[in-house]
Amino acid sequence: MRKVFKHCYEMDQRCYEEYGLTEDILMEHAAKGIKNYIDDNLKGKNSILIVAGVGNNGADGITLARLLQFNIQSVKLYIPFGVKSPMAQKQLERTRKLEYVEIVDSLCEADIIVDALFGAGLSRSLDENIQTLIDSMNDLNGFKIACDIPSGIDEAGCVSSVAFCADITVTMGARKESLYMDVVKDLVGEIIRVDLGIRYNQYTKGMPVSSYLLDREDMGLPSRDFAKDTHKGSFGHVAVFCGEKEGAGIIAGMSAAKFGVGLVSLVAHEKISPPPYLMCTSEIPGNATALAIGMGLGGYFDKEFLRKNVIESHLPIVLDADACRHRELLEVLEQKEREIVLTPHPKEFAYMWQILTGEQIDTTAVQEGRFELLRRFGTLYPHATLLLKGANTLITQEQKIYINPFGSSRLSKGGSGDVLSGLVASLLAQGHISIDAAIQGSLALTTAAENYSGSSYAMLPTDLIDEIGRLEK
């Protein structure tokens, strides 16, 4: 689990004021970080084109050109708009004195293309000339590296009319939230971080952490290897409500059973045909330890039934899909001692947000304000856990946000969210607190999707569930 910040301005300023480092020193280390990546990972690539902007991001690129004196045979530097910042002017003056850096007057093909146009400081819309330039950079065939953040993406993670499409983004000093917005996932590529002349812990010391990036190593499975004297009741009993689209509830129940819960009951008023290991009932079992509701729910259950069995219950609960737009079911958020997990996708979140706050927003607004909306939710309902689905899933409780960056297009298929609900409900039933259940369920889902060996378009919810059963191996 790694720290993520909104930006690094205060940390850079402290380097100058408290540690005696200069802008020049930080820039040298930023460029050296990219150089080290190239030396370690791109052996055999002999030419590089660096496109540098007018400010300090451009200065980072110009510094990189100067440092690339051994492994890269051809170093070309393109500065389409000149330089303006004092550091960019100083770095260009140094670089002009070197024979091995060729300053060119147009884009050209190279094995490696480095975007050092704007960085995180972009604060304006891009004019037509810059848009054309970035489009042309994207058309080049070389391996593409973005310096700090791809040009065209601003500090908030919003994309302008066009943005550089990187294979890898080398971000400076610390990771920024803007790199983990859904809309930039296909633009940033792999994200790596480099130090700026002091140890990372010293650089970030005392700074408020905005979010945490989850690692694969953070996944914890509900292993049973630790105990022998157990029975099915030792591992909980989850009750899954099956609504108008009963398949969604059945998938959630199958997923829960696969993830270690001792018993699964499907709650329905009509006869359904689930796998034989799932029980069917019309009432909540007396020994149930968690509930899951919303998947395919529709208007299947009447209000009196829901109030008696869900709203007035104090069992841990997962609210998914239709439950997130169900005014009565959302009353459970008033229960401050209850373990609650909500798992909406952006459109469901927009419905839910309007019910809870009266504020009308659309899906675009949700996607553009993912981090801030989660913080606002955490202020209103600090006891509840919210998991906002997306290419980068965000999970929050109180003011802490956890980022699962491992989402993939394989999961873009009906039923994947039902699998997730089952995983989270299973962990709640086994005694996990809500934030832990949401984090571990999310990591299990994305890891299972990564492990699927079939065609990228072919994965079914049942395939995901099968992979869940192999995670411990």
Per-residue model confidence as pLDDT tens digits over 78-124: 999 998 999 999 999 998 888 888 999 999 999 999 999 987 766 67
Tell me the mean pLDDT in the region 351-377. 96
Whole-number Å distance between alpha carbons of 358 and 424: 28
Amino acid at 434: S
The reply to whether 411 falls in a domain is yes
* 75, part of any domain: yes
Based on the number of CB atoms within 10 Å of its own CB, is 175 exposed (0-12), middle (13-18) or buried (19 or more)?
buried
Residue 141: what are its φ and ψ, rounded to 5°? Answer: -90, -10
Indicate whether 178 and 307 sit together in one domain: no
Residue 174 has a pLDDT of 94
- From 173, 207, 241, the end of a domain falls on 207
In a domain, 212, yes or no: no
Q: Is the pLDDT of residue 260 over 80?
A: yes
Is the same domain home to 161 and 264? Answer: no
Q: Indicate if the pLDDT at residue 56 is higher than 70.
A: yes
Same domain, 81 and 196: yes
The answer to whether 196 and 8 have CB atoms below 8 angstroms apart is no
pLDDT at residue number 71: 77
231 and 336 in a single domain? The answer is yes
Of the candidates 176, 207, 238, which is a domain's last residue?
Answer: 207
Cα distance from N-terminal residue to C-terminal residue, the chain: 22
Cα separation, 167 vs 188, in Å, equals 7
SS3 sequence of 407-436:
CCHHHCCCCHHHHHHHHHHHHHHCCCCHHH
289, part of any domain? yes
Domain-located, residue 240: yes
Going by the DSSP 8-state scheme, the letter that residue 375 receives in this structure is: H
Give the domain range for residue 252: 217-468
72-80 average pLDDT score: 92
Residue 113 half-sphere exposure toward CB, CA atoms < 13 A: 23
pLDDT at 228: 77
**Residues linked to residue 211 through DSSP beta bridges, in sequence order:** 4
In whole angstroms, give the CA distance from residue 172 to residue 206: 18
CB of 100 closer than 8 Å to CB of 74: no
Residues 350 and 233 in one domain: yes
The verdict on residue 473 lying in a domain is: no
Nearest to 33 by CA among 208, 203, 212, 209: 203
* pLDDT at 454 exceeding the cut of 70: yes
**Average pLDDT score over residue span 225-252:** 88
Q: Which amino acid is at 203?
A: Y
Two structure tokens written together for 188: 């940033």
Q: Looking at the domain assignment, is residue 432 inside a domain?
A: yes
Beta bridge partners of 237: 263
**What does the DSSP 8-state code read for residue 323?**
G
The residue from 184, 207, 230 where one domain ends is: 207
One domain for residues 126 and 229: no
Number of domains, the chain: 2
On whether residue 186 sits in a domain, the answer given is yes
pLDDT value, residue 27: 92
Cα 44 from chain centroid?
Answer: 33
Examine the domain organization and report whether 130 and 38 are in the same domain. yes
pLDDT at position 70 is: 75
Tokens of 133: 């330039």
Co-location of 221 and 188 in the same domain: no
Q: How confident is the model at residue 235 (pLDDT cuts 50, 70, 90)?
A: confident
90-93 own/partner pairs: CB under 8 Å, 24+ apart? 90/24, 90/59, 91/27, 91/59, 91/62, 91/63, 91/66, 92/59, 92/62
What would the pLDDT profile of 401-437 be if each residue is shown by its tens digit?
999 999 999 999 999 999 999 999 999 999 999 999 9
**What percent of the chain is predicted at pLDDT more than 90?**
82
Whether residues 288 and 401 fall in one domain: yes
Residue 226: pLDDT above 90?
no
- CA 181 from chain centre, in angstroms, equals 7
Above 70 in pLDDT, residue 271? yes
**How buried is 329 (Cβ within 10 angstroms: 0-12 exposed, 13-18 middle, 19+ buried)?**
buried
Contacts with 70 (C-beta within 8 Å, 6 or more apart), sequence order: none
**pLDDT digits over 159-209, tens only?**
878 999 999 999 999 999 999 999 999 999 999 999 999 999 999 998 888
Q: Which pLDDT does position 291 carry in this prediction? A: 98
Do 75 and 191 reside in the same domain of the chain?
A: yes
Based on the domain organization, do 332 and 421 belong to the same domain? Answer: yes
The whole-chain average pLDDT of the chain stands at: 93
CATH of the domain at 55: 3.40.50.10260
Model-level pTM? 0.93
Q: What integer pLDDT is reported at residue 127 of this predicted model?
A: 84
Higher pLDDT, 120 or 35: 35
Q: Would you state the structure tokens that stand for residue 326, as one six-digit string?
A: 């169900």
Place of tokens 């859904």: 182
Look up the CATH number of the domain holding residue 309: 3.40.1190.20
Query: In this structure, are 274 and 256 located in the same domain?
Result: yes
Round to whole Å and give the CA distance between 424 and 441: 5
